[in-house]
Amino acid sequence: MRTGLGLVVLGVVLAVSAVASAAPIVWTGPTMTFTKTNYADWTLPANQDRITDSTWLTRQNANGIFNIKTETASVYGGPPTGGLSPANTEWAYGNAADWATLTFDTWWNWQAGGPLGSGNPPGTIGKDAVLHLISDDIYLDIKFLSWEKGNPDRGGAGGGGFSYDRSTAGVIPEPATMTLLGLGLGGIAWLRRRKA
């Protein structure tokens, strides 16, 4: 009897964990604003949006954004792939709640209008977009608020400043955590009942 109950509990925990870990996560918590000002030191944590342990977005004094957790600068791959940075991300226009119906691409292709696009980060300002953090399978809403045009030798002021609003994780516990808590409480109740 005891072994049978233990196997059932183990089976339920494993099944719930597998389902919970396979489901994409959509962040619907409060909106936060990230800003990197012109000429701010992109190597300092204050100038990096550390979204998760694997994705830290920033920008040097020119060029595109990149994931400083795994990259040292923005990487442009050229046609036909476009840019490769920021690593571990893909982007689409729309809302995170509709992630399954959106078409995602690299940041470079998304903001430039395709791999052969001329690059237009200022064109993304004010538009609803979705950032997919690939390794974490997290979708979040993002909207660029500002973008300082690139290099002074190309007509921009330079400085690498940019800002955006994005959704956060909020405080909703993961389904697996709630399931384990429920199983633990159920186990305690079962033991109390058994002793009585």
Three-class SS of residue 180? helix
* pTM: predicted TM-score of the whole model, two decimal places: 0.74
Report CA-CA distances (Å) from 129 to 96, 103, 141.
8, 11, 6
pLDDT tens by residue, the chain, 196 residues: 555 555 445 454 444 444 445 689 999 999 999 999 999 999 999 999 999 999 999 999 988 899 999 999 988 766 555 678 999 999 999 999 999 999 999 998 888 775 445 568 888 999 999 999 999 999 999 999 999 986 666 666 789 999 999 999 987 555 556 566 666 666 666 666 666 6
